[in-house]
Amino acid sequence: MSNQSIATNKLSEVSLDLRASAFVRVRKGSWWLRLTTLFLVDYTLLSLAWIFAGYQSSSEHLSWYVPSQYFPILITIGIQIGSLALQGIYREGQKRYDYWNIIKSLTFAHGLIVLVCSLYKPVVDITSSRLILLSWLLSILFICTGRYAVNVTLEYLRKQKKIVRSSVFIICDPQEREQIASFIKKEKHYIVSGTANANSLDRYKRQQTLSQLNELGVTEVFISWDALKNRMFLCWLFQASGIQVHILPMELKPIYRNVEFNKIGGMPCLSLDCPIITGKDFWIKRICDFCLATLFVMLSFPIYIAIAIAIKLDSSGTVFYRQTRIGLHGQQFKVWKFRTMRSDAETLQKELEALNETKDGIIFKIKDDPRITRVGKFLRRYSLDELPQLFNVILGEMSIVGPRPLPTRDVDKFSEHHFIRHEVLPGITGLWQVSGRSDILDFEQVIHLDMSYIENWSLALDFEILLKTVMVVLKKDGAY
């Protein structure tokens, strides 16, 4: 057994689905095939439901043969499929065969269709009570029947071993093993490849466990709640190896925003996404960052000029200071700041290391740092030295709100779980800055605040942190 954990300098460079094995590609292709099949079946059945309802309800029939009627039919079917998708009917698991959810989704969709048609007069009137009632009943009947037929067909193909099942692994305490395995086996698309005790997730056994899962071609792992320690790091570690994490809790507890509630064999199961800001969340945040940063730069341009003049009059050297920091996915970039120290500050830092006030030495902080200039003290007191980082935000290297980017000197002292903070864009301000700034001298507290931000991210939280930043800066709390 290897006594070495994953190398920390490599950990932050791991990208999703590193294995890129043939099994993973087959599974993804199988998932897309099932999704496309369900979509086409539903689209066909809903089209038939509306056409049959149109022929039975009025003389003004709905028909695909009349070009003017294409758009109304497409819109109505699109609303229905969208409603089904929002209810998770196209996701893996039992949700796609939850007939009660299908009925609720189609009922909501029909209500929305009536509302839209009452506000905007369509080419074909589809608001007659008989047409709506018939189309609603037929849509439910056709979709539920279609799902049942698909389920029966898939079950037959599985028995014939013509469908690739998802290979899963169970990590739990020995006394839970049989119970959890029995629940998972109720899901026909899973095949249990093996089990392991909870201690397989211990620090010095994780690498061996991951290697074993990769050899087995495992794509999903089920972990009992009691066996899960350091859940964020383990979730990220498994996801980075292309393995989806499912938690089987003995008791339900709130985890974080990227969690989906499912049922596995009738037992509640929480599926965790990697604790990072990705997808539409990333792009929403990025667009907001770009717009706000551009606006702030334009509004604060006179302040830039005034600060530049003050720096040049106060001490010799450049106006701006650029330092290499570690950003998204461990990539290096140059962070911009107004210069607040003497030109030889980095050279002097080596002589001042013994005076570092942080407990673990990861971050370098001295309350009365002799390298800071007179203008620099004022700029730091009100965090004005950070203003040039708005250009880093515009360039996409930083976000307005997020974990602060740290110099390479600090990152070289990281433990492996610290690297998770590099899975989101670094920020100008964040929970660390509004919770004490330089008064927080324990880096584990900083990590706790960063993880709390990542777990609970929302635009509302970003806005709240921005407001608190203004208050903290005006009060000069923890500024030095």
Do the strands 320-326 and 406-407 form a parallel or antiparallel pair, or are they unpaired? antiparallel
Please, which residues bridge with residue 427 across strands?
399
Question: Domain residues of the chain, as ranges?
Answer: 34-159, 165-272, 279-475
Q: pLDDT grade, residue 21 (50/70/90)?
A: very low
Amino acid at 241: S
Q: Tell me: the pLDDT tens digits for 75-118?
A: 888 888 988 888 778 876 666 677 788 888 898 888 888 777 77
What pLDDT score was predicted for residue 425? 94
CA dihedral 392, 348, 374, 376 (to 10 degrees): 10
pTM value is: 0.54
The Cβ of residue 300 has, within 10 Å, a number of other Cβ atoms equal to 15
Q: If you count them, how many residues does the chain have?
A: 480
Q: Which residue has the higher pLDDT, 263 or 223?
A: 223
Q: Is the pLDDT of residue 335 over 90?
A: yes
CB 264 within 8 A of CB 248: yes
pLDDT given at position 32: 74
Q: Do the beta carbons of residue 47 and residue 64 sit within 8 Å?
A: yes
CATH topology of domain 165-272: Rossmann fold (3.40.50)
Residue with the larger pLDDT of the pair 181 and 397 = 397
Distance separating alpha carbons of residues 478 and 480, to the nearest angstrom: 7
**Structure-block tokens of residue 406:** 């740290």
| 87, 160, 233 from 97: Cα distances, Å | 11, 21, 33
pLDDT digits (tens, 9 = 90+) for 361-377: 566 667 777 888 999 99
**Scanning the structure block, which residue is given the tokens 């993804």?**
28
Q: Is the pLDDT of residue 274 over 80?
A: no
Which segment of 42-46, 119-123, 464-468 scores lowest on mean pLDDT? 119-123
Contact (CB, 8 A) for 112 and 83:
yes
Least confident stretch, 24-28, 132-136, 140-144, 302-306: 24-28
pLDDT number for residue 1: 37
* Torsion 319-322-323-328 (CA) sign: positive
Question: Token pair for residue 439?
Answer: 């008064």
Residue 479 has which token pair? 């500024």
Q: What are the helix (H) ranges across 242-330?
A: 279-299, 301-314
Q: Which two tokens stand for residue 330?
A: 């461990």
Residue found by looking up tokens 């199961």 in the block: 269
Q: In what order do the strands lie in the sheet with 320-326?
A: 332-338, 320-326, 406-407
